[in-house]
Structure 1
Amino acid sequence: MIGVIPKKHEKEIVEEFFQLFKTPWEFYDEDHSYDVVIVTRGVVCKANARLLLIYGSERNQFDCNENIALSPTSGKVFVQCGNVEIPIYGNISALEGVGNPTIRVKGGSTIAGLEVERSRETIFRIGYDLFEEVRFLLSEGQPPENAHIPTLEHHIAMLRGWIVNMRIPLIEIPPAPAGYNFIACLTHDVDFVRIRDHKFDHTMWGFVYRATIGSFLNVLKNRITWSRFFQNWKAALSLPFIYLGICRDIWLQFDKYLEIEKDACSTFFIIPFKKKAGNKLSGRIAKRRASKYDITSIQDIVKNLVKQGHEVGVHGIDAWHNIDLGRKELKRIYQVTGQSDIGIRIHWLCFNDQSCRILEKAGFKYDSTFGYNDTVGYRGGTAQAFRPLEVRHLLELPLHIQDTALFSSGYMNLTDIQAWSLCSKLIENALMYGGVLTILWHQRSIAPERLYGDFYIDLLRYLKENNVWFATGGQAVQWFKKRRDFNFNAIQYVDDNTVTIKYSDSRTGIIPPLMLRIHKRKLPNNDLSHAIHSGTICIDVPLTGEIERLAFSG
């Protein structure tokens, strides 16, 4: 059991942290005994624990007793623990004192973490506040230059590694369904439906330029193949016949997605009202946010998507800043789909610090806006669905990979090879940490002039090879809610190799089930990556009842 002594204002973020690191814990009670105690408050209690972790950038009682000097560090700081680098966003101090260095500031000899050995306990003194780091990640989020780093997952792995390395038994519910390595959530923002809706406007002329002159320049630079070049020119030349109704509209790709994703359901975020750019936006291009279609224009398509097992959510316009307008957008989608638990992703990823509270009051079950327009990765530092601060029920399903961020000339402008390398790294992280990998592929992106279809098909194939559970946004959120509702009622170690666990699970009908992970052995070489894999140091067991008696080798 872990006991936590936080600062008063940190209690909410502590509770959320231990929803992400799902292991038995409680706020510290001096009448209880603990294997591990975590402290961020200035006054350090005399905790009778095998492992005491003291976080904070300010000098405290322990530092005075141990003659540890603290020096505040300014600027952008990365710390290293083993072979893992982690950005620190809050205050951090360098430590000077007697002890074994466990964390160093990148690029020098400065120490940010010390291990102090005592006869009955081990103390780790860390020069930053863990929970303030978590608060920053889940509210403001990482800057784009650090998007590739799963920072919050690294923090969890570091803590897990220290506990297991001390040979302290650790039990957790990992963020991966039993029988799968992680969850893959395929999503599609439907910004445009038909190119026929756009005649002699900015959208049409932009398409013509990119399909012709843009394709010509890209083929000369070896950024696209000649095959894609000819497909784009053919599409551009067919525009008059599309407008006359002679040729099929090239942007209408719903059926193609049903074919590509025949073994995997996905989520389509649909515009609720056409010809509305939304409020709270300014600038010359703000009016381009208005769509030429809405859900009433494609009711038959939407109903077929629902019939085929796909999910339809709201591609919000004003819901991010106005409760009443959010309710109208939700009602508009409900009237067509009949689905009651509806999620949302805001068009253009518009968002502010009040958005989650507004969306929850409007009635949405989850949001999937927390991501980047200009890069891919982990804005919140995590691959897990989480509850934003100061909301009660709404979960945030973080967005990780967006097609236009990868390939558009205004953003990363990557080649297929470069994009594959980056996506492969995110999949590698998901295999290591679990969680959900949320992918956004716009409805028209597999059509000319983008032609991102081959890359998407290869990406799905690679995901299938890595044994993922394909879930809609709603299904993924429901699974994470199941995990959040899980409670450890009693844990008893019968002997060194047997443990009995009583637990409560309020959502037993949801498939796939949760998984119990038991860590047992000491980690080699302080390598954090070993702390989150099953195999030689831990075992995984699906949870199917209310009592589990498990035997494992030591």
Structure 2
Amino acid sequence: MLELLREDPAIWDLFTRKEEYAPGLRDEFDRFPYYLSSHRNIFKPCVSEYLHDRGYRVEYPDGQPFAICLTHDIDSIYRPSLFKGYDALQSLKVGNLRKGIDSISQIRSKKLPWCNFQEIMALEEQYDATSSFYFLALAPGDKDYRYDIRDLETDIGTIADAGWEVGLHGGHQAYCDLQQLQAEKKRLEKVLNRPVIGYRNHYLRFRVPETWKHLAEAGFRYDTTLGYPDCVGFRNGMCHPFRPYDLTAGREIDIMEIPLTIMDTTLDRYMRLDPGRAWEVTRCLIDATERCGGVATILWHNTFMGGERLKLYEKALRYCGEKGAWMTSGVEIQASIGERQLL
């Protein structure tokens, strides 16, 4: 299949992310954003369509036509008590005494509603789905250190024992610092008491091809960071998992990339879409993935599981379920596709 891609220089350059090897500019988080890319047709999986037209197919369990990789980045688990105080005041103001008392009782509680992993799993189970939870494993003093992974040993064990995946959400420096990456991986594995093979970096910080090489050396089997923070879609034209190609070394990197397609904060904060428009874009990307028999990766933070944001996530689950998609975790995608079917 690589030889097929090389036959079309534009397709090859998009697939390998050639323009990211020497970018003139990067954003404040050292990311290559969509607004700097020369490839503008982001909602079209050009490379996957090119391969599909030439006979490339991936087989999924039970003959399912395409797959959805469901994922959650756990950036925060403790909702600031300020918000609960506000909730309590608002509830009491409108006469909802029960809710007001409940909010007051939670102000002193360490675990507040964002520690909602079992609720997320219960929702997904209704649609015969599983997912991946990527946890930060930072040390005190690290940027964005918001919780100690050791405090979540019981929660993490519950997630893993139920058949959902626990992966690493690498910190701010993990994407470019192998030692930091290894330290965080070891910290999470000590709590989980089993190997960690799945990864996504915090803030989608990523460098092509260096981050892939660090991840492979650290022992990860797959990554799912490759998506733009400022626009949903297909960053390298792929809606299929693939093995990255290092243009500098002239060889493949021993890791699977499951590219990120849709992120909640991208729809909400970067693109500033209202719920109706956000759903239209989400449906468009799911349909494009279905046509290629590919994998669409959805990232929905645990902090977005409420109100209109939760409704949008559940709408995506229902829509994909009606289409017969395999909705599962990154580790199951990695195991199912494996070496035999991997591009």
Common fold, TM-score beyond 0.5? yes
Cα shift at 1:276: 4.4
What's the counterpart of residue 169 of structure 1?
none
1:290-369 aligned within 5 A? 290-317=144-171, 318-353=173-208, 354-369=210-225
- State the AA in 2 paired with 1:300: T
For the residue of structure 1 that corresponds to 2:266, the secondary structure is helix
Q: Output the TM-score relative to the length of structure 1.
A: 0.51
- State the AA in 1 paired with 2:34: P
Give distance in 2, aligned partners of 1:467 and 1:248. Answer: 36
What's the counterpart of residue 373 of structure 1?
229
Give distance in 2, aligned partners of 1:305 and 1:270. Answer: 12
- State the AA in 2 paired with 1:357: K
Give distance in 1, aligned partners of 2:265 and 2:100. Answer: 20
Give distance in 2, aligned partners of 1:373 and 1:142. Answer: 7
Give distance in 2, aligned partners of 1:360 and 1:330. Answer: 12
What's the counterpart of residue 320 of structure 2?
463
What's the counterpart of residue 245 of structure 2?
389
Cα shift at 1:157: 5.0
For the residue of structure 1 that corresponds to 2:17, the secondary structure is helix
1:407 aligns with 2:272: no
Give distance in 2, aligned partners of 1:129 and 1:194. Answer: 46
Give distance in 2, aligned partners of 1:417 and 1:147. Answer: 20
For the residue of structure 2 that corresponds to 1:444, the secondary structure is helix
1:128-277 aligned within 5 A? 130-136=11-17, 143-144=34-35, 145-157=40-52, 160=54, 172-177=55-60, 179-195=63-79, 198=80, 240-245=104-109, 249-262=112-125, 263-277=128-142
- State the AA in 2 paired with 1:153: S
Say if 1:130 and 1:421 are closer, same or farther in 2 by CA, change over 3 A: closer
Give distance in 2, aligned partners of 1:473 and 1:481. Answer: 12
Determine what percentage of the aligned residue pairs are the same residue.
28
1:419 aligns with 2:288: no
Q: Quick one: higher RCO (CA 8 Å, sep 6+), 1 or 2?
A: 2
Say if 1:472 and 1:276 are closer, same or farther in 2 by CA, change over 3 A: farther
User: Is the CA contact 1:266–1:471 (under 8 Å) kept in the aligned structure 2?
Assistant: yes
Give distance in 1, aligned partners of 2:231 and 2:134. Answer: 20
User: Is the CA contact 1:270–1:315 (under 8 Å) kept in the aligned structure 2?
Assistant: yes
For the residue of structure 2 that corresponds to 1:146, the secondary structure is coil
Say if 1:375 and 1:133 are closer, same or farther in 2 by CA, change over 3 A: closer
Say if 1:442 and 1:133 are closer, same or farther in 2 by CA, change over 3 A: closer
Rg (Cα) greater in structure: 1
Structure with the higher fraction of residues in strand conformation: 1
Unaligned runs of 5+ in 2: 22-31, 89-93, 247-251
Task: Count residues with an aligned counterpart.
Answer: 312
User: Is the CA contact 1:16–1:387 (under 8 Å) kept in the aligned structure 2?
Assistant: no
Say if 1:248 and 1:473 are closer, same or farther in 2 by CA, change over 3 A: closer
Say if 1:430 and 1:138 are closer, same or farther in 2 by CA, change over 3 A: farther
- State the AA in 2 paired with 1:185: C
What's the counterpart of residue 25 of structure 2?
none
User: Is the CA contact 1:269–1:344 (under 8 Å) kept in the aligned structure 2?
Assistant: yes
Cα shift at 1:420: 1.1
The CA RMSD measured in Å over matched residues stands at 3.2
Give distance in 1, aligned partners of 2:237 and 2:10. Answer: 16
What's the counterpart of residue 511 of structure 1?
none
Say if 1:461 and 1:420 are closer, same or farther in 2 by CA, change over 3 A: same
User: Is the CA contact 2:16–2:244 (under 8 Å) kept in the aligned structure 1?
Assistant: no
Cα shift at 1:236: 9.5
Give distance in 2, aligned partners of 1:477 and 1:256. Answer: 25
Say if 1:236 and 1:421 are closer, same or farther in 2 by CA, change over 3 A: farther
- State the AA in 2 paired with 1:385: P
Give distance in 2, aligned partners of 1:146 and 1:239. Answer: 46
User: Is the CA contact 1:269–1:314 (under 8 Å) kept in the aligned structure 2?
Assistant: yes
- State the AA in 2 paired with 1:143: Y
Structure with the higher fraction of residues in helix conformation: 2
- State the AA in 2 paired with 1:454: K
Q: Output the TM-score relative to the length of structure 2.
A: 0.80
Give distance in 2, aligned partners of 1:422 and 1:389. Answer: 29
Give distance in 2, aligned partners of 1:17 and 1:236. Answer: 64
Cα shift at 1:270: 0.4
